[in-house]
Amino acid sequence: MAELHTTLGAYPLTRMRRNRGTDWSRRLTAETKLSVDDLIWPVFVQEGTNARTPVGSMPGVDRLSVDLLVEAVKQARDLGIPAIAIFPEVDPVKKTPDAREAYNPDNLVCRAIQAVKKAVPDIGIVCDVALDPFNSDGHDGIVRDGIILNDESVEVMTRQALVQSQAGCDVQAPSDMMDGRIGVFRRALDSAGFQHVQIMSYAAKYASAFYNPFRDAIGSSGALKGDKKTYQMDPANSDEALREVGLDIAEGADMVMVKPGLPYLDIVRRVKDTFGIPTYAYQVSGEYAMLRGAADRGWLVWDKVLMETLSSFKRAGCDGILTYGAVDAARLLAKK
Ligand code: PBG
């Protein structure tokens, strides 16, 4: 019998394209799937009522007063988004070198938590634990003689985590990168009766140039002196991220985060493979600005790059993603 010939060489029977041929087959063979359950929506809150201020470097993102925030969170809940993350723009007159506004039980964050909890009790509330919105230096910790003090900062942030928990925050998310803070927070939360409050540690957070739009949004960019390289990680390092994550887990973190997102997906994969703990990544403000800015100029298609990047986070091993595109993504997922 005559041999069959193909132009494909010695092993023509494997054709990778077969499984890709139809929509149903592509769905059937998909290895990972993005769902609305994977999304955490970061939001910016400001003082005032019925107040909305666009963030210049983040097209489509507004700072909202508490009343408008509540309405926005209702929409997010209706779309099925499981949690929001609240970040405040603090009145500059309330920013001091000791960042004492951070643990004022009536500060903007606590008022926002209370209002959201009351109106939308079934959405999770994540809050940053860090001093940069409250600190006149714009740093995440207390600064003395140009040094960012570790243990003093942890003390102030412990008080911050306690007032936020008292207000009803479900997840304390320290983004400050001070040493030892997870263990200190865990003990303080437990002895104050907040055993149920979760800790999502920004465990591997890099000293990144992708945070600038966020600093505009919370009004800390003007204040920030110098950089954050003495506490945030060097982008060159990967083994160090595993040590950071390992320590935070040992100290009691319930969930860990890698930040920024897309340029650090190799870190996500290593963390997930090594520890198997619920692992999150933050698609940060600069990543959002980059994609949205290009889309607004017609150079990229927003819906497509948003969904592609979020799928990449899932593929890398993320259990969830903090993204400013959460509401858009939730709408797109609902349409499918
Ligand atoms: C600060 C904090 C930052 C972000 C979240 N918490 C910025 C920073 O470390 O300077 C960045 C989020 C983003 O860029 O979207 N504690």
Span 247-297, pLDDT tens digits: 999 999 999 999 999 999 999 999 999 999 999 999 999 999 999 999 999
The preferred substitution site among 61, 90, 171, 284 for testing ligand 1, maximizing ligand atoms within 8 Å of CB, is 284
Q: What is the pLDDT of residue 242?
A: 98
Ligand 1 center to 242 CA (angstroms): 20
Condensed to tens digits (0 to 9), the pLDDT of residues 157-213 reads 999 999 999 999 999 999 999 999 999 999 999 999 999 999 999 999 999 999 999
Q: How confident is the model at residue 222 (pLDDT cuts 50, 70, 90)?
A: confident
Ligand 1 center to 136 CA (angstroms): 16
Long-range contacts of 179-182 (CB under 8 A, 24+ apart): 179/150, 180/150, 180/151, 180/154, 180/251, 181/129, 181/154, 181/157, 182/247, 182/248, 182/251, 182/252, 182/253
Strands 198-205 and 171-174: parallel
Q: What is the pLDDT of residue 34?
A: 98
Report CA 10 to chain centroid distance, whole Å: 49
Is there a domain that residue 276 lies in? yes
Positive or negative CA dihedral for 307, 261, 64, 70? positive
| Cα separation, 107 vs 31, whole angstroms | 44
pLDDT over threshold 70, residue 9: no
| Cα separation, 35 vs 80, whole angstroms | 10
pLDDT over threshold 70, residue 83: yes
Q: Give the structural domain span for 183.
A: 37-335
Q: Model pTM?
A: 0.95
Q: Spell out where 192-323 has E strands.
A: 198-205, 255-259, 279-283, 320-323
Q: State the catalytic residue, choosing from 95, 205, 228, 272.
A: 205
Strands 142-144 and 124-129: unpaired
Q: What is the pLDDT of residue 61?
A: 98
Task: Give the list of residues 6+ apart from residue 232 with CB closer than 8 angstroms, or none.
Answer: 177, 205, 206, 207, 208
Is there a domain that residue 31 lies in? no
Is there a domain that residue 32 lies in? no
Q: Spell out where the chain has E strands.
A: 39-46, 52-54, 62-65, 83-88, 124-129, 142-144, 147-149, 171-174, 198-205, 255-259, 279-283, 320-323
* 155, two tokens: 């003390």
Is there a domain that residue 13 lies in? no
Buried b (16+ CB within 10 A) or exposed e, 213-225: bbbbbbbbeebbe
The preferred substitution site among 135, 214, 216, 231 for testing ligand 1, maximizing ligand atoms within 8 Å of CB, is 214
Closest ligand 1 atom, CA of 130?
A: 16
Is there a domain that residue 5 lies in? no
Is there a domain that residue 310 lies in? yes
| Cα separation, 315 vs 105, whole angstroms | 40
Mean pLDDT, the chain, integer: 95
Closest ligand 1 atom, CA of 322?
A: 15
Ligand 1, pocket residues at CB < 6 Å? 128, 130, 132, 140, 175-176, 211, 214-215, 228, 284-285
Is there a domain that residue 203 lies in? yes
What is the C-alpha radius of gyration for the chain, rounded to an integer number of angstroms?
A: 22
- Quickly list DSSP for 117-184: HHH-TTSEEEEEE-STTTBTT--SSEEETTEEEHHHHHHHHHHHHHHHHHHT-SEEEE-S--TTHHHH
Q: How confident is the model at residue 10 (pLDDT cuts 50, 70, 90)?
A: low
pLDDT, average across residues 300-304: 98
Ligand 1 center to 28 CA (angstroms): 38
Ligand 1 center to 215 CA (angstroms): 7
Give the orientation angle of helix 66-79 with respect to helix 326-335, to 10 degrees: 30
CATH number, domain with residue 42:
3.20.20.70
Total domains in the fold of the chain: 1
Mark whether 118 is an active-site residue.
no
Look at 93-97, 120-124, 214-218 and tell me which has the smallest mean pLDDT.
214-218
Q: What is the pLDDT of residue 223?
A: 78
Mark whether 259 is an active-site residue.
yes
Q: What is the pLDDT of residue 8?
A: 62
Q: What is the pLDDT of residue 43?
A: 98
Is there a domain that residue 329 lies in? yes
Q: What is the pLDDT of residue 292?
A: 98
pLDDT, average across residues 305-332: 98
Q: What is the pLDDT of residue 2?
A: 53
Atom 10 of ligand 1, nearest CA residue: 211
